[in-house]
Structure 1
Amino acid sequence: MTQQVEPGPHARLGRAVGADAGVAGVALVLPAGQVDSARGPSAVAYAAGRGLARELAGAGVSEGLRAHVVRYRGRGWNGADARLAADAQWAVEEVVRRYGDVPVGLVGVGMGGRAALRAAGHPAVNSVVAWAPWLPGGSVDEEPVRQLVGRRVLIAHGTEDGWAAPDLSFRLAERVKKANRDTCRFEVHSDGHGLRQHRAEVRALTVDFVLGSLFGRPYARAVADALAAPPPLGLRMPLASGFGTPRG
């Protein structure tokens, strides 16, 4: 069962990038947040999300991809309120209202990764990408996973992440894989929470997965192998240096 969506009068979709007409799919980028905060949304996190949205939209323009960054009501998850997840669910409903029956891919960063995983229960959601999802250690075994059944799921996590423990995303991925075989997880070796050292490879991986899931493009070999491999192999797939770089 998915979480009840509360009205989000202050959540909104950021300015669209990508296809101007004939929208055939939408990518929603969910920025990072904070554990507890009463402050408004972070302009820095939103700006980072805009860069990712532009890259996704540019790569998928020929298929009719449009992308938005979600502007949360505030930057805090705030315990049981799970406000970022509620805003993500509102955003999916807003996409359906605007664009009709098109597939939606959720791409979440940090705490936005957890929000993306939580919001996947909407029938329009086709796929989820979670970068370094924040998962409190005491709750990872109770984190809902049934909403991910029927979706394609990719988690990418830096092995040196000192803020959102990679072992916890692995434990969650194990649970998701049992419910949904179309799940994979990539480990970004030597990288931290921001995935800055291998940002180009992580973005290329995300583009490959989103376009493959939304529009049926063939996945890169590494992605196809990770989806097909049994655990733990497909949940500890190393992200190769230079992934997505054209070979001469």
Structure 2
Amino acid sequence: MAQHAPPARGARLGRAAGANGSGSTVSGVVLLLPGASRFSPGPLRPLGRALVRAGVAEGLVAHAVVHGGGSSREDQAGWAADEVVRRYGDVPVCLAGYDAGGLAALRAAGHHAVNSVVSLAPCLADAAAAADSSEPVKQLSGRRVLIVHGTNDARSDPEASFQLAARAKKANRSTCRFEVHSDGHGLREHQPEVVALVVDFVLGSVFSGRYSRPVTDALAAPPPLGLRMPLASGFGQSLRR
């Protein structure tokens, strides 16, 4: 197994939220990987709360990965997955990241414990780099992958995440990407819909194998349809799991 950065080099797990706090058996873990700026957390905080509420009965635990200096975010995400295995044993892990954390989630997906990845507004270099082999996708093979990007993102080109998703789809059919029309980098305008989408995807990937109809359709649709799936206004208000 690959060696990852120890916590002394910057990474640590935040306090467990969810099943572990209630004394229940832990059956799955979500690692929340923050963006580059603590002043712009994006949707991770409400997402963490929503995941705990929705998944506590199934044994879901959420940990924020506190990033520090001394090693890359990708290495620290890998260390965090190692730490999950040490604490909880052989349970499925979802990496869910925003901004720089969204890129780290994609890059660290090859860890043996990871079964799914959520990447929100990932900070990729540019569309050209994402379209060629300079940004790897082989590590996504065998994982369920969800990418979400606002069409008005001025900090991270949405076309770059589309190009990366197109390459990932060739190696891994279980890849989908949703576009949040008129939303920016922080995904604030449609935050409830983004959170509901991710909760649906995570619970389906980690536990039940079932998804809402839009996610099922996005995973099944050939490119580019399943990679430019519009996130509908009001998504999550009447989900049937």
TM-score by length of 2: 0.91
Q: Residues 47 and 231 of structure 1: is their aligned pair in 2 closer, same or farther, counting only changes over 3 Å? A: closer
Deviations 1:16-52 (A, max 9, x none): 1000220000001101116xxxxxxx3x456963432
In structure 2, what is the Cα distance between the partners aligned to 1:197 and 1:46?
Answer: 14
Structure 2: which amino acid aligns with 1:89?
G
The correspondence of residues 169-208 of structure 1 with structure 2, limited to 5 A, is 169-208=161-200
Q: Percent identity between the aligned chains? A: 61
Deviations 1:135-159 (A, max 9, x none): 0126322111111000000000000
Which residue matches 1:73?
A: 68
Deviations 1:204-246 (A, max 9, x none): 0000000000002520000000000000000000000000013
Structure 2: which amino acid aligns with 1:146?
K
User: Counterpart of 1:89 in 2: which secondary structure?
Assistant: helix
Alignment coverage as a number of residue pairs? 232
In structure 2, what is the Cα distance between the partners aligned to 1:84 and 1:91?
Answer: 10
In structure 2, what is the Cα distance between the partners aligned to 1:242 and 1:46?
Answer: 22
User: Counterpart of 2:108 in 1: which secondary structure?
Assistant: helix
Which residue matches 1:143?
A: 135
Unaligned runs of 5+ in 2: none
Q: Residues 91 and 173 of structure 1: is their aligned pair in 2 closer, same or farther, counting only changes over 3 Å? A: same
The correspondence of residues 222-237 of structure 1 with structure 2, limited to 5 A, is 222-237=214-229
Does residue 102 of structure 2 align to residue 131 of structure 1?
A: no
User: Counterpart of 1:121 in 2: which secondary structure?
Assistant: coil
In structure 2, what is the Cα distance between the partners aligned to 1:52 and 1:241?
Answer: 17
Q: Residues 158 and 3 of structure 1: is their aligned pair in 2 closer, same or farther, counting only changes over 3 Å? A: farther
TM-score by length of 1: 0.88
Unaligned runs of 5+ in 1: 35-41, 75-80
Q: Residues 193 and 46 of structure 1: is their aligned pair in 2 closer, same or farther, counting only changes over 3 Å? A: closer
RMSD across aligned C-alpha pairs, in angstroms? 1.9
Does residue 22 of structure 2 align to residue 6 of structure 1?
A: no
Structure 1: which amino acid aligns with 2:190?
H
Which residue matches 1:109?
A: 98
2:43–2:195 CA contact under 8 A, matched in 1: no
In structure 2, what is the Cα distance between the partners aligned to 1:102 and 1:54?
Answer: 20
User: Counterpart of 1:98 in 2: which secondary structure?
Assistant: helix
